[in-house]
Structure 1
């Protein structure tokens, strides 16, 4: 049994079952490959969404940390100002220490406390 296939510029010509099977196999292989690529793309898109969610959470956490650090610095400045206005024995360096506090990490707080205790000793 033969089928007919249209070729470019060749008109209608007879094709064998074997040739048709080969064409169908190629088509199925291409469809399978395309489906696999769609699955991979969907997986990558899903991972990208997850990473974007994590990045947004980290950004919000950083913003909260910065706000907390600013509040802490303001509080320390207020405390230092209060101490300086009420006690003559406290060095003005204490205020400078707090003014220069970067507040960028927890180590800054421990350095501040070390500097404060050094001033009083």
Structure 2
């Protein structure tokens, strides 16, 4: 099967126009604590703003933008300004947006693990 250029454009347009709603459903399913922040028109506007930030950071693909937005709901909308996140975003070893999204995700997981370990040690003292 071969698709014409006009069909590809129509399909891309459809996916782009539905991304915010699909991401909202994804987040509501996986982050029940974020459902309030996602509710109504304000929730859609909040989500669109965070997608816009993801795009401005170079995350054009849906998967990369989804990872960024998910982290923004878990860690706060300005988490990318934190030292650990900014370092992951500008590290020259991460050449593609997907590499940067993965590095950001992994840095966030490591940060959470480090904080958990620190809290566990304090609790045992």
TM-score (norm 2): 0.32
Which gives a bigger RCO, structure 1 or 2 (Cα 8 Å, sep 6+)? 2
Structure number having the greater strand percentage: 1
Q: Compare CA radii of gyration and give the structure with the larger one.
A: 1
